[in-house]
Amino acid sequence: MRLELVKRAEMSRAMMVLSPLIAVALTVVAAAIVFAVSGHNPLTGIWLFFLEPVTSLWGLEQLLIKATPLIVIGLGLAVCYLSNNWNIGAEGQLTIGAIVGSAIPVLAPEFDSWVVLPLMVAMAMAGGAAYAAVPAVLKTRFGTNEILTSLMLVYVAGLFLDWLVRGPWRDPKGFNFPITVTFNPSATLDSFPVGGLWLNLSAPIALLLVIVFAVVMRFTLKGFEIRVLGQSPRAGAFAGFSARRMTLFAFLLSGALAGLAGIMVVMSEIQKLQPVISPGYGFTAIIVAFLGRLNPVGILVAGLVIALSYLGGEAIQTSMQMSSKVATVLQGMLLFFVLACDTLILYRIRLVRGRHGAGEGAHA
Amino acid sequence: MATAGGRARDTSGTPLLEVRDVVKTFGSNVANDSVSLKVMPGEIHALLGENGAGKSTLVKIIYGALQPDAGEILWKGRPVSVGSPAEARALGIGMVFQHFSLFEALTVAENIALAMPKGTDARKLGRTIAEVSRDYGLPLEPDTRVADLSVGERQRVEIVRCLLQNPALIIMDEPTSVLTPQEADQLFETLKRLASEGCAILYISHRLEEVRAICHHATIMRRAKVVSETDPTRETVGTLARMMVGSHVAEIHRERAVPGATRLELRGLDVPATGPFGVALKAIDLTVRAGEIVAIAGVAGNGQGELFDALSGENPAPSDGMVLIDGKPVGHRGVNVRRRAGAAFVPEERLGHGAVPGFRLSENVVLTRHGTREGITRSGFTKVAVAGRVVTDVTDRFDVRKGTPDPEARSLSGGNLQKFVVGREVHREPGILVIAQPTWGVDAGAAAVIRQALIDLARAGSAVLVISQDLDEIFEVADRIAVISRGHLSAAKDAAEMTREEIGLLMAGGAEKRGEP
């Protein structure tokens, strides 16, 4: 007796839309079980984790701050995944982008001009793109698996940042803490009030990017090329598109966006470099991209949902003394449920009974 | 092919295999609707039908690869349930597949050993293979690598592998579709010999001539049902075809070609093989003139795919001067440059090459026509409305049947999708059309529409190059015929002067000796 996945003749459009919602609902149920098992009232847990964070203006601000890098990175990753390039290393590209972008305020703290900000953004995007080019070139030239190379480069980037802030870039007046000098005001993004919320430019930029990506993916030949090469490389070649160039394009684009997200976080929130600058935005953005069905508007919504789980994690840590790792567990479960729902849209499960001979392989 | 007399069918004994009222449905699609079939020991039993008639489903049920929803299977008079191919082989049912399942890097003996029970003595097996293959007129060297074998020889490996399991029934799925006429004749001798020894053969084919020549009995399926049973020797090809199709197939109208200027020219086209098992193209010369259809015949895997890729530019030639479109050297250019120069291409694979399965038809119009400056893209934006009008035009002209106005490509049946893929290119009125396997796996009605469209396009002044393995099709449409064999192309000759025998000799390697005294 065994289980078999059988492809469905056609998939339900309604279910395509409903599946992320079902996945979120299943995650809430799973969260309740996690709370109950750890000896807490599941309803209180759900309230604190999913709802309480958005009941205050401060919570909403935090939500937008956390969602912004997730959305920016998720947009780039979606282009990768749609074109069948598996960039898992956005966290590393974010780190390198943040480092390269921070070079001006760290190495030339006196440099005070309006060009500093745009320069930092451009350098961060170039740095992220260059770092993403490594797995892309390895893939197109040597056929290496980009999942492995991009993932491993994350750790290289993290250790490089660690070394920098403890070594050459350490603030001489920083009491030996592993931090760089605090950026001068021309290198930081200031917040301004929007209807009681204090926001910086990052969130509007993310929103603009969502709109641009939505238009490009749906209405332009480039978006068409991305989707064709992802679904059917042979048909893509027949259309005159190059899968190699697409691999480079997708990696450079997603690397640049990860670098942008990295420098946004550093410029607005931390305003210096330190050993840890991201709570795993680059990895969580993978979940965001898939939860958003690789669709720019979907990614906007998914980014907000996932950002909520970060805040929820902090909330249960302070109010219920639970580990904030619960948030990571629930993010993982959410991805699991999304993928499971997607699989069941495309396939149905069939129970196969009876034994199967070993000689079958010869004719399989 | 002479039809030998005295192939009377003896139905007095117990049938070897009896299928009773088998039903199989896939979703809402009924593939087998109460199908019954009797195979007597020692008979060559033809299973006829168009693509999609349900032959493959029935055969897979008999071979245990699918389970029926209802009905029963009797083996030597006893009801059996065939749970898997392994169980089928244990009963004595063997199958030779249309697409081979051999490991190219292993030798003949190693490939066969993989299908034998564990603990088979390898050296003894080699001797047995040599003996069996010689006895049945299927000469094979046990130590040759499969990669070095021709398609016909690979099929022999499959047959020998099947024979070593002492089957009482062998199922053959379109065995001659990959063979030269001479190789096919050799296979028929083997089949007759097997039948005379009491082994039954269930023979699936569309080739009615050969069914008349070797089969004792024919069961004809149409739209998931058995529509008739007959003795094929008492039928003509025409009456068999009518039983399969259920109606008269449209005749193709063709006037003599009046060729004009050369539009497509290949000059010493040399392309190295792309992989260890690819075929290199060697010094191919060919011209196709306005107004004519030139066909390239050949057994599968002799460089047709490589030639198509070199013509379309998916794998460009080493130098520009090797491929000329209307005199313009494009050998080194990509597919869209060639399209802009007036060429259009239809590859062999409809889904995944000619069309993206999950894309709508309008998006599939964009796929091949985004670079041809017809307004389907403007400043980087795709114009889906313009593409939609192309879909409507193609649908009207080629009678593409579809459920919704703009469905996904994968939801169309093979014949309808092929009409769309051909129509998409013909609609452009290209000066040059290169088309591979124009009617492979397409029902007779759709095939007639497509072939007529090719002829009409040529007569209107285009140059059409057809790459096909179907000789009937080639003789129906071609003005001149060339033959490809191991990457060499014979000189194209007037179709009226070519015979099947001559083509067969060229397929078997005669094309390579061109130019030698």
Decide if pLDDT at A247 tops 60.
yes
The CA angle B22-B23-B25, to the nearest 5 degrees, is: 150
How far apart CA A187 and CA A189 sit, in angstroms, is 7
Which pLDDT tens digit goes with each residue over A225-240? 999 999 999 999 999 9
Which pLDDT tens digit goes with each residue over A22-60? 888 999 999 999 889 988 899 988 888 888 888 888 889
Inter-chain touch A234–B27, beta carbons under 8 Å: no
Can you give the pLDDT at residue A203? 93
Inter-chain touch B353–A363, beta carbons under 8 Å: no
Token pair in block for residue A357: 């001979």
Which pLDDT tens digit goes with each residue over B351-364? 889 999 999 999 99
Mean of pLDDT values over A156-178: 93
Decide if pLDDT at A361 tops 60.
no
Can you give the pLDDT at residue B289? 96
Decide if pLDDT at B282 tops 80.
yes
Diameter of chain B measured on Cα atoms: 76
- Give yes or no for a contact between A335 and A290, defined as CB atoms under 8 angstroms apart: yes
Name the most confidently modeled range: A181-185, B128-132, B376-380, B422-426.
B422-426
Indicate the DSSP class of residue B351. Answer: B
Inter-chain touch A221–B83, beta carbons under 8 Å: no
User: Which residue spans within B50-101 are E strands per DSSP?
Assistant: 70-75, 78-80, 93-96
How far apart CA B29 and CA B20 sit, in angstroms, is 20
User: Which residue spans within B326-455 are E strands per DSSP?
Assistant: 328-329, 343-346, 377-378, 381-382, 432-436
Decide if pLDDT at B499 tops 60.
yes
Can you give the pLDDT at residue A339? 85
How far apart CA A164 and CA A331 sit, in angstroms, is 31
Decide if pLDDT at B114 tops 70.
yes
Mean of pLDDT values over B128-146: 84
Can you give the pLDDT at residue B248? 60
Residue among A9, A231, A364 minimizing CB distance to B356: A231
CA of A145 to nearest chain B CA: how many angstroms apart? 20
Q: What pLDDT band is residue B99 in, cutting at 50, 70 and 90?
A: low
Can you give the pLDDT at residue A233? 92
Can you give the pLDDT at residue A2? 75
* Amino acid present at B326: D
Token pair in block for residue B155: 């099929």
Give residue for tokens 């449209």: B250
Token pair in block for residue B167: 């089957």
- Give yes or no for a contact between B423 and B364, defined as CB atoms under 8 angstroms apart: no
CA of A27 to nearest chain B CA: how many angstroms apart? 30
Which pLDDT tens digit goes with each residue over B1-26? 444 444 556 667 889 999 999 999 87
Can you give the pLDDT at residue B517? 36
Which residues in chain B are contacts of A235 at CB distance < 8 A?
A: 352-356, 367
Q: What is the ipTM of this complex?
A: 0.82
Query: Which residue would you say has higher pLDDT here, B182 or A113?
Result: A113
pTM of the model: 0.78
* Amino acid present at B258: V
How far apart CA B138 and CA B116 sit, in angstroms, is 19
How far apart CA A106 and CA A104 sit, in angstroms, is 6
Task: Write the burial class of residue A300 (CB in 10 Å: 0-12 exposed, 13-18 middle, 19+ buried).
Answer: buried
Nearest chain A residue to B334, by CA: A240
Q: What pLDDT band is residue B516 in, cutting at 50, 70 and 90?
A: very low
Which of A4, A221, A222, A352 to mutate: most B Cβ within 10 Å? A221
Q: Is the dihedral of CA A242, A247, A250, A252 positive or negative?
A: negative
How far apart CA B464 and CA B443 sit, in angstroms, is 22
- Give yes or no for a contact between A80 and A321, defined as CB atoms under 8 angstroms apart: no
Which pLDDT tens digit goes with each residue over B264-275? 999 999 999 887
Q: What pLDDT band is residue B469 in, cutting at 50, 70 and 90?
A: confident
Q: Say which residues have a Cβ less than 8 Å from residue B431's Cβ, sequence separation at least 6.
A: B263, B290, B325, B326, B342, B343, B461, B462, B463
Residue among A227, A240, A357 minimizing CB distance to B84: A357
CA of A111 to nearest chain B CA: how many angstroms apart? 41
Which pLDDT tens digit goes with each residue over B420-449? 999 999 999 999 999 999 988 777 778 889
Residue among A9, A221, A356 minimizing CB distance to B382: A221
Give residue for tokens 């010094």: B283
Q: What pLDDT band is residue A294 in, cutting at 50, 70 and 90?
A: very high
Which pLDDT tens digit goes with each residue over A303-349? 998 898 888 888 888 888 888 788 888 888 888 898 888 888 888 88
Residue among B83, B85, B334 minimizing CB distance to A363: B85
Establish how many alpha carbons lie within 13 A of residue B494's alpha carbon, considering only the half-sphere containing its beta carbon. Answer: 6
Decide if pLDDT at B337 tops 90.
yes
Q: What is the CA radius of gyration of chain A?
A: 22
Inter-chain touch B352–A232, beta carbons under 8 Å: yes
Mean of pLDDT values over A53-81: 94
Query: What phi and psi, each to the nearest 5 degrees, are found at residue A196?
Result: 90, -20
- Give yes or no for a contact between B437 and B468, defined as CB atoms under 8 angstroms apart: yes
Nearest chain B residue to A227, by CA: B359
Tell me the C-alpha to C-alpha distance, in Å, between residue B347 and each of B157, B308, B317, B437, B438: 29, 7, 18, 8, 8
Tell me the C-alpha to C-alpha distance, in Å, between residue B253 and each of A241, B11, B29, B449, B454: 38, 44, 35, 11, 11
Inter-chain touch A237–B314, beta carbons under 8 Å: yes
Inter-chain touch A240–B366, beta carbons under 8 Å: no
Decide if pLDDT at A355 tops 60.
no
How far apart CA B450 and CA B448 sit, in angstroms, is 5
Q: What pLDDT band is residue B247 in, cutting at 50, 70 and 90?
A: low
Q: What pLDDT band is residue B415 in, cutting at 50, 70 and 90?
A: confident
Candidates B51, B71, B147; CA nearest to B104 is B147
Q: What pLDDT band is residue A138 in, cutting at 50, 70 and 90?
A: very high
- Give yes or no for a contact between B347 and A238, defined as CB atoms under 8 angstroms apart: yes
Going by their DSSP bridges, the two strands B432-436 and B281-289 should be labelled as unpaired
Average pLDDT over chain B, rounded to an integer: 86
HEC string of B322-345 equals HEEECCEECCCCCHHHHHHCCEEE
Beta bridge partners of B169: B93, B200
Candidates B164, B157, B200; CA nearest to B178 is B157
Indicate the DSSP class of residue B469. Answer: S
Q: Say which residues have a Cβ less than 8 Å from residue B246's Cβ, sequence separation at least 6.
A: B222, B223, B227
- Give yes or no for a contact between A139 and A247, defined as CB atoms under 8 angstroms apart: yes
